[in-house]
Every structure is written in structure tokens, then in C-alpha cells.
Amino acid sequence: MERYDAIVIGGGVTGLAVAYDLASRGLKPLLLERNDLMSGTSGKYHGLLHSGARYAVNDPEAAYECAVENKIIKEIAGHCVEDTGGYFVLLDEEEYYDEFKRGCKENQIPIKDVDVGEALREEPNLNPNIKAVVEVQDAVLYAYRFAISLGLAAKMNGAEIRTYNEVIGLLKEGRRIVGAKVFNKINNSVYEAKADVTVVTAGPWSEKIMCMANVQNVKMVLTAGTMAVVPRRLSKRVINKMRIPSDGDIVVPYGNNSIVGTTAYVIEDPDNYTIPPEDAEFLMDEGSAIFPMIKNIGFSRMYSSVRPLISVGEEIDTRKISRRYEIYDHEELHNVEGLLTAIGGKFTTARAMAEAISDLVCKKLGVKKGCKTKETKLPNPVEVLSAEQLRKSGCPESLIRRAFEKKGTIDEELLMNALYVLIASFLW
Ligand SMILES: Cc1cc2nc3c(=O)[nH]c(=O)nc-3n(C[C@H](O)[C@H](O)[C@H](O)COP(=O)(O)OP(=O)(O)OC[C@H]3O[C@@H](n4cnc5c(N)ncnc54)[C@H](O)[C@@H]3O)c2cc1C
């Protein structure tokens, strides 16, 4: 039977970051993903590397976590980040202005007042009726570039990554989880893999995995959110409404598009839910309050994904549930050894979550190596992979040739996106 130091269940941004962190400390992790990498929430997010400002007033812990990670990710993954900066624009809730600035100051989130006239010159598509503007350090973090860089770093450090391998059960010896039973969807076989520690990073599916270990009492609130794509870049910066975090607050410039989001509605099953039909009209109204021209351009498509939030008692206003993360050690909490679960958090804070989980894994295994991911630059696949490696992996010759051509063509962005996806599919 195969044996690893750790099995990581779920290949979203959190699982990839955990596999990388553990491997970089010299451990041998196996990452299991039931579909493609990033096929859960991470591949369908809003694209925002938070500065923390959004949470400064009502969720200071999450604000602080985001502010710290914002700096780190810009440093270690510059090739995945577009450092756009962001504006918070005041439209109507004027009483929030002072509170917002106070919250940012208290949580050490850098902000700068911007004259409205200057902001409108910088961002001419903005609603001309904005009353005040504050600049923050928001940025765009391109999901697939980041994921592939994390995956590559994990592989280069010795991690094993298997896609289309679904965990269908956990192996138990007494009160200890000793591995996973896995269905390999590629060759229709079932096998068992053993590990000293099993880490659940299955996002909104984590509750299902915990149930496999008979852990029934960790409750998550599964909150779906819809985003709408405007097929045009409307601003240089990320634009947020300056108000208590609510639905339809943010427009993110993502490549040549702009993403208007989001909404929040509780669902039961992340594999079986639909986008409420009223979300299109709602996002159109909210988005065009920021950029009136959205009404003329329209949306090219809508998509949605599910937040794996931490359930706190009876709280039903999903915007009031904290976006901070938590790591559950089920030995302490539920008398189940060898099992850890990561819950909550943001795409922005995935690296920090992975650090916290990996610290705990190392503690359990008596490994003394500390985290290196804070200060180690992630590999840029296009720089790290040689044409020879791509050729060996089966990547088509025409793509390799074009990928290694000098940048500068108008198709560069499309080509790079295609390349990232292809590299991912040939590597794992
Ligand atoms: C609408 C919306 C917008 C968001 N926007 C932002 C944003 O702009 N900025 C930000 O920082 N955060 C944002 N977030 C939050 C962020 O996207 C999530 O916190 C993050 O992506 C969660 O990643 P994850 O790896 O934990 O989960 P996921 O990405 O869902 O990964 C879990 C993986 O586990 C796999 N899996 C499930 N069951 C099994 C099994 N049995 N065996 C093997 N694999 C399994 C799934 O297929 C999936 O790939 C947003 C969230 C939502 C919902």
C-alpha cells in the first residue's frame, strides 16, 4: 500500500498551498482532487487580492489577515498579481465614511484620500456623482496562474498531485485516521493510500469528508455567490462601494473584462444549486451604480461558487459571518486522531492557512522545519519549465514554440491563459 507523510484532500487554492508548504519542509504529501485542480470555489472566485479594507469595520480579524497576506502574495507571486490598487467610492451611505477610515487605521490598513476630480480623471467611467474616494492596496490575483505556480512549486519540492482521484472513504484504526480510500476516475479503480496525517481542504465539501470520519458536529454555512462578467475593462483599479459589506459592492478588472459581484445565499448542496434568476438584474443595478455604462454594455455571462464559511450559532445574515479562517484539530475537538480540517478564509489568505495547517502537521509528526513560503518566490511556470520538459510531458510542439517566443503580440494574454491551463493538464 502507498504511504505518505500527509494526504491532502481537495485541490483548490488551500490544498495546493498546503501541498507546497509541506513539501517545502521536506515532507511527502499526496494531494487528491476529485476533478480538475481549482474546479471548486477557487477557480470561480472574484479575483480580488484583498487589502483588508473591505473587512476593516465589521471583521477586523479577517481584515488583518488579508492585509498581511496582500503584501506577502505581491512579493512571492508577482507574476500572478496585477497590482492595480483600488478605490473605495462613497455613493450614498455618508455616515460610513469616518467609520471606514477609523477601521482601516485601527487595523493598520494603508489608505489615502483622493480628490474626487482626480479620481474621475483616473477612472473616467466611474459614476460622476461619487462623493468621496479613498485609495487602498487591493490588487487582482489571477487564479490559474497562482494555482499552477503553487502546484509546480509543490511538485518541484516532491509533492504528488493526482487529479480525478476522489476520496470516497477514510481509513480508520481505532480512533485514528490512517489514510483514504480513493476512486481513480481515470481507470475506474479503487485503491487505498496511507498517511500519518490527513488534511481536509475540500472547501464547501469539507463537511462531507468530516462525516466520513464520523465528525458530525462541525457545521459550515455554505453561501453561494453570483458574479457577472462585463466584456470590457472599465477601470484600471478594483472599485469597491464604501459601505458596510453587502451584495453587489465590487467591480474587479480581470484581464480585459470586469467582474461585478457578488451576492450571497445559503445553499444545502454545493453540487446541486442554481443561480437565482433575480441575481442578473440585481448585479446590473448595483454594478451600474458604480459604472453607469454597464447598463449599455450588458453582461456576457454569469457564474457562481460557494463560500465555505464557519457557522456561528444561529447567525443567518451571511454578510455578518466572519471571513477569517480556522484549523480544526479533530484529536482535541472530537477525539479523532490524525485528522485536520481547514475552514473559512479567503483566496487571499490561502497561504497563511496552509502555513498554520503545516505547522500543526509538523508538530504532530515531530518535524522541526519552519515555514519557508512567506519569503520564497513562487516559480513562474513559463520561466521554470524548459521546452524539453514540456515536450516530454506531451505538450503540443506548436504551443511550446509560441510559448517561448518573445512577448508582445496582441494575442499574448489569450495564449498565456491557454498555456497555463495546458501546462496544468500535462503536468499532473
Ligand atoms: C462568490 C465568491 C467570490 C469570492 N471572491 C473572493 C475574492 O475576490 N478574493 C478572495 O480572497 N476570496 C474570495 N472568495 C473566497 C475564496 O474563493 C475561497 O475562500 C477559496 O477559493 C476556498 O478555496 P478552497 O481551496 O478552500 O476550496 P475549493 O476551491 O472549493 O477547493 C476544494 C476542492 O476539494 C475538492 N473535493 C471535494 N470533495 C472531494 C473529495 N471527496 N475528494 C477529492 N477532492 C474533493 C473539490 O473538487 C475542490 O476542488 C470568494 C468566494 C466566493 C464564493
Ligand 1 center from residue 283 Cα (angstroms): 22
Dist. CA 285–CA 259, nearest whole Å: 14
Ligand 1 center from residue 204 Cα (angstroms): 7
Ligand 1 center from residue 39 Cα (angstroms): 8
Whose alpha carbon is nearest atom 4 of ligand 1? Answer: 45
Amino acid present at 126: L
Domains of the chain, by residue range, sit at 2-41+144-219+323-365, 48-141+221-310, 385-427
Q: Which of 173, 224, 147, 124 is nearest to 1 (CA)?
A: 173
Q: Structure pTM?
A: 0.93
pLDDT per residue rounded down to tens, the chain (428 residues): 778 999 999 999 999 999 999 999 999 999 999 998 899 999 999 999 999 999 999 889 889 999 999 999 999 999 999 999 999 999 988 889 999 999 999 999 999 999 999 999 999 999 999 999 999 999 999 998 899 899 989 988 999 999 999 999 999 999 999 999 999 999 999 999 999 999 999 999 999 999 999 988 777 889 999 999 999 999 999 999 999 989 999 999 998 899 999 999 999 999 999 999 999 999 999 999 999 999 999 999 999 999 887 776 665 566 566 677 889 999 988 899 999 999 888 999 999 999 999 999 999 999 999 999 999 999 887 777 666 666 766 666 776 666 666 555 555 556 666 666 666 665 65
pLDDT, residue 324, reads: 77
Query: In which element (H, E) is residue 420 found?
Result: helix 412-427
Ligand 1 center from residue 143 Cα (angstroms): 11
Q: Which of 7, 46, 74, 323 to mutate to test the pocket of ligand 1 (most atoms within 8 A of CB)?
A: 46
Whose alpha carbon is nearest atom 35 of ligand 1? Answer: 10
Using a 10 angstrom Cβ sphere, with 0-12 exposed, 13-18 middle and 19 or more buried, the burial of residue 283 is: buried
Ligand 1 center from residue 306 Cα (angstroms): 7
CATH topology of domain 48-141+221-310: D-Amino Acid Oxidase; Chain A, domain 2 (3.30.9)
Dist. CA 251–CA 405, nearest whole Å: 33
Q: CATH assignment of 2-41+144-219+323-365?
A: 3.50.50.60
Whose alpha carbon is nearest atom 48 of ligand 1? Answer: 40
Do the two domains 2-41+144-219+323-365 and 48-141+221-310 of this chain adopt the same fold? Answer: no
Whose alpha carbon is nearest atom 5 of ligand 1? Answer: 46
Q: Which of 360, 27, 405 is nearest to 201 (CA)?
A: 360
